[in-house]
Amino acid sequence: MIPVEKLVDHVRTYNPSSNAKLITDAYEYGKLMHGGQTRHSGDPYFTHPIEVAALLAQQNLDDSTIVTALLHDVIEDTEATYKEVAKKFGVEVAQLVDGVTKLTNLELSSNDAKQAENVRKLLLAMSKDVRVILVKLGDRLHNMRTIKHMRPEKQLQKARETMDIYAPLAGRMGMQWMRDELEDLSFRVLNPEGRNSILRRFLTLRSQTEDVIPKITQDIRDVLQKAGIEAEVVGREKKPYSVWRKMQEKGEGFSRLSDIYAFRILTNEEEDIYKALGAVHKRWTAVPGRFKDYLSQPKSNGYRSVHTTVSGRDGKRVEIQIRTGQMHDVAETGVAAHWSYKDGHRVENPFAVDPFAWLASLTERFGNSDDQDHEEFLEHVKLDMFADQVFCFTPKGDVIQLPRGATPIDFAYAIHTRIGAACVGAKVDGRRVPLWTRLRNGQSIDVTTAEGQRPQSSWIDIAVTGRAKSAIRRALREEHREGYVRLGTELARVALEHVGKKSTDKALTTASKKLGLKNKEALLARLGSAEMTGADLVGALYPELLTNGKPETDLPAAEILGLNPGQYAQPGQCCQPLPGERIVGIATRGKGVVFHTIHCEKLAEYEDQSSRWIDLRWTQGRNDPNNNVTIEVTMANDAGVLGRICTLIGEQNANIADLQFTERKSDFYRMTIEIQVRDVEHLHHVITAVEADSDVAHVKRTRQRLHGTQAEPQKGANGVT
């Protein structure tokens, strides 16, 4: 375990005015809170926050970020509360820790709908304070470094999530070193044989040619010295995943790859970059089509460099990147350079991009989508946010940034939706080309439009940007909307009648809200255009009818983790916690442990009795429908309505334990119903089904328990009740 003195000393090397007491206090507090907890490896749990803090200290980050790293799991995994962290370490740190906690709870490898919503939350948290994601990336990197101690299925889940979300995000933020390592660690889990084959080929290559990297490095130094250019030269083999990706993209074998070696020239002055490029090209033959100038056209994450590939020693092709030291800081650390300190002051790097500017633009663009379609949103994120970019020009010389693989259709929509919709052709560098042509860096594009032109359905497969695809789909839906809505109305009627339900306005409105659509017309249009199925509609309203209420029998019964031997736990009647909700236990005399939801108002009574707080959590598993919860329903005072509501609850495989009327009027009833459900997701199914009834005005969960049978004590994971 890294001692606190070593961490403080390291921070002081770049920030002599660092608040050593704040870091030391956070270290001791985190160590105390995590006391007794261990990782999958058996190491003390607090070794993890320390390693994350050390990772961020290597990026020369500020005190608040380092302290957040030390405390990033205390609210999630210990008795610590937001209020206590704010009191001890300030509101800024508490907000950062709370932000990281919320990111930890996001399921980024779930189904499209849930993943889209959670990615939105991820972007929103980033836009509020980029340091939240810097800590989360550090957390993920250390977890990936120690992933071998997790269960195999958990390793696969985390590796896919890292490869799909966190590694591209690190790259989009300019933290290339972190992206490379995250990708390689994920590659080790997802395709170990593929990675090992690359490593074996590297070993074979070294045995055949010896280590050519020092030789080529010295060759480049000699060329620069002869040209009178002061610069640092370093060389390396590319990471296994980077080589593997190139092989897949180009469809070539290892022996035919031209850029398995990469060399970097770091000049002192910006004007020396092109001088160094000229000296390199004078000495070796440049490979056509492999020159990229990110000085004149920087990437949106602030990356600046000149790339070229030459035929070097013994005819081997090598990639050379040329940039200044300040540009290299941004290339390696990205937006972290915006927060870096040197000699006690924030570093003013002229090449560092303002992280808030591009994040605000990103969230604004995604938030303005009229149709909250999950698939389209994820397209936006994965293409507009994560993809490498090409830079093309309008006839007037304006630069348009597009993802790699973009077409003239994408270019037209990037200028304006109206231009895209009216596009009938395009010229690239003065030559007419098909609309499916893939654009390349530096090309000039002239879009031809025609009055009366409308987007074509074939454009969906031509376009690659989320903006273009979304606009095309929206236009096609509007054009055929009336017919789609008519067809969707009939499909909805048939689908719901098949399960014995009516397709009412209330049911369709409830389903559209559940599916994240604007209104019932948007839902019907999706059904009519085959973008949704009748099963999707039924599943949104009555999921229990699709599964026949059958639980996942292959899962073990859900239990509560955190109880000591001899302890038993029972739910607090004040908040009726359900499996799936975050819970906190309070030790009581004679009652074992009473557990509450994390937001229960009753917990305020124990705020000064931290010794009684116990960190508890549910295991994933099968739950029986015997957890009591109370809902409040406002419904029309009409014959048969109450019976229909009770039937709906029964159809969702929930049992009614008690029912009381709280208000009776001539036109409506208000009543509270105590039901028994499996977990919080099952409760949501019941509420949605009841809310869909046309005679129900309002339904919500209430924390007030009716008089009835006492809930059974819960079983702990250690088998003690």
Residues 39 and 126 in one domain: yes
Q: Are residues 484 and 467 in the same domain?
A: no
Beta strand 445-449 pairing with 306-311? unpaired
285 and 385 within one domain: no
Residue 118 inside a domain? The answer is yes
Q: Left if phi > 0, otherwise alpha if psi is -120 to 50, otherwise beta: which for 549? A: left
**Single residue among 155, 175, 190 that ends a domain in this structure:** 190
Q: Which residues of 504-526 are buried (b: 16+ CB within 10 A; e: fewer)?
A: bebbbbbbbbbbbbeebbbbbbb
Q: How far apart are CA 609 and CA 81, in angstroms?
A: 12
Does this model's pTM top 0.75?
no
351 in a structural domain = no
Percent of the chain with pLDDT over 90: 26
Candidates 444, 450, 440, 403; CA nearest to 427 is 444
Q: Say what the pLDDT of residue 197 is.
A: 86
Share of the chain above pLDDT 70, in %: 82
Residue 598: which CATH number?
A: 3.30.70.260
Residues 59, 125: contact at Cβ < 8 Å? Answer: no
- Give the span between the Cα atoms of 566 and 67, in whole angstroms: 37
| Buried b / exposed e along 628-654 (16+ C-beta atoms within 10 A) | bbbbebbbeeeeebbebbeebbebbbb
- 362 is a domain residue: yes
Q: Among 7-11, 218-222, 240-244, whose mean pLDDT is lowest?
A: 240-244
pLDDT at 214: 87
Average confidence (pLDDT) over 141-162: 90
The number of folded domains in the chain is 5
DSSP-based three-state secondary structure for 676: strand
Query: In the numeric block, which tokens belong to residue 32?
Result: 């105390």
Mean pLDDT to the nearest integer, 136-142? 92
Full 3-state SS string of 22-45 = HHHHHHHHHHHHCCCCECCCCCEC
Taken as a whole, the chain contains a residue count of 721
Kindly tell me if the per-residue pLDDT of 198 is higher than 80: yes
- pLDDT confidence of residue 344: 59
| 3-class state of residue 342 by DSSP | strand
Spatial distance between the Cα atoms of 146 and 165, rounded to a whole number of angstroms = 19
* C-alpha distances in Å from residue 525, one per residue of 421, 484, 494, 517: 20, 5, 15, 11
- Residues 28-65 have pLDDT tens digits of 999 999 988 888 888 899 999 999 999 999 888 889 99
Q: Is 79 a catalytic residue?
A: no
Whether 95 and 173 share a structural domain? yes
Look at residue 17 and tell me if it is in a domain.
yes
**What is the 8-class DSSP label of residue 621?**
S
What are the helix (H) ranges across 480-580?
481-497, 505-514, 520-528, 534-541, 543-547
In the set 25, 43, 51, 76, the catalytic residue is 76
H or E element that contains 427: strand 423-428
- Beta-bridge partners for 319: 262, 309
- Specify the CATH number for the domain of residue 16: 1.10.3210.10
Q: Does residue 369 sit in the same domain as residue 424?
A: yes
How confident is the model over 364-393, as a mean pLDDT? 56
Tell me, yes or no, whether 288 and 386 share the same domain: no
Same structural domain, 554 and 697? yes
Residues 711 and 690 in one domain: yes
CA distance 45 to 73: 10
Three-state SS at 257? coil
Q: What is residue 346's predicted lDDT score, i.e. its pLDDT?
A: 60
Those residues with Cβ within 8 angstroms of residue 111's Cβ, 6 or more apart along the chain or in another chain: none
pLDDT at 608: 82
pLDDT of residue 557: 72
Residue 590 has pLDDT above 80, yes or no: no
Question: For position 23, what pLDDT does the model report?
Answer: 94
Spatial distance between the Cα atoms of 474 and 457, rounded to a whole number of angstroms:
11
pLDDT in tens, 611-655: 888 888 888 777 788 888 999 999 998 888 888 898 889 888 888
C-beta of residue 715 within 8 angstroms of C-beta of residue 721: yes
Q: How far apart are CA 498 and CA 51, in angstroms?
A: 56
CA distance between the termini of the chain? 36
Give the residue numbers spanning the domain of 77: 4-190
Match 């926050």 to its residue by tokens: 49
Q: Looking at the domain assignment, is residue 348 inside a domain?
A: no
> Could you tell me the CATH number of the domain that includes residue 364?
3.10.20.30
Give domain status of residue 350, yes or no: no
Please indicate, yes or no, whether residues 32 and 153 belong to a single structural domain of this protein: yes
Contact yes or no for 323/262 (Cβ under 8 A): no
Least confident of 111-125, 220-234, 368-382, 655-669: 368-382
Q: What is the 3-state secondary structure (H, E, C) of 301-319?
A: CCCCCEEEEEECHHHCEEE
The residues, ordered by sequence, that sit 6+ positions from 285 with a Cβ below 8 Å of its Cβ are: 310, 311
Per the CB < 8 A criterion, the answer to whether 356 and 127 are in contact is: yes
Please tell me whether residues 185 and 207 are part of one structural domain: no
Are 245 and 288 in the same domain? yes
Mean pLDDT to the nearest integer, 580-602: 84
Residue 103 is predicted with a pLDDT of 76
Rounded to an integer, what distance in angstroms lies between the CA atom of residue 495 and that of residue 501? Answer: 9
**643: Cβ contacts below 8 Å, ≥ 6 apart:** none
What is the rounded CA–CA span in Å between residue 262 and residue 281? 16
Residue 374 has pLDDT above 60, yes or no: no
Structure tokens at 144: 């990936």
Strand-pairing partners, residue 323, are 266
Whether residue 675 is predicted with pLDDT greater than 80 in this model: the reply is: yes
Domain containing 276 — which CATH number?
3.30.460.10
Alpha-carbon span 119 to 125, nearest angstrom = 10
Average pLDDT over residues 426-450: 91
Radius of gyration for the chain, computed over Cα atoms and rounded to the nearest angstrom: 30
Q: Give φ, ψ of 98 to 5 degrees.
A: -65, -40
CA distance 162 to 160: 5
Quick count: other Cβ atoms within 10 Å of Cβ 188?
19
- Indicate whether 342 belongs to any domain: no
186 shares a domain with 135 = yes
What's the pLDDT score for residue 51?
94
Domain boundary among 478, 498, 517: 478
352, part of any domain: no
Question: Quick one: DSSP state of residue 18?
Answer: -
C-alpha 432: how far from its chain's center?
A: 40
Tokens 């040197």 found at: 342
Q: What is the pLDDT of residue 352?
A: 61
The model's confidence at residue 721, banded by pLDDT at 50, 70 and 90, is very low
Enter the tokens of residue 586: 């309070």
Q: Which residues of 452-469 are buried (b: 16+ CB within 10 A; e: fewer)?
A: eeebeeebeebbbbbbbb
Of 25, 43, 63, 77, the catalytic one is 77
* pLDDT, tens digit, 9 for 90 and up, residues 312-356: 666 677 889 999 988 888 777 766 666 666 655 666 666 666 655
- Predicted pLDDT at 303: 80
Residue 706 half-sphere exposure toward CB, CA atoms < 13 A: 20
Question: CB neighbours of 256 closer than 8 A, spacing ≥ 6?
Answer: none
Amino acid at site 217: T
Of the two residues 59 and 434, the one the predictor is more confident about is 434
Active site (annotated) includes residue 77? yes
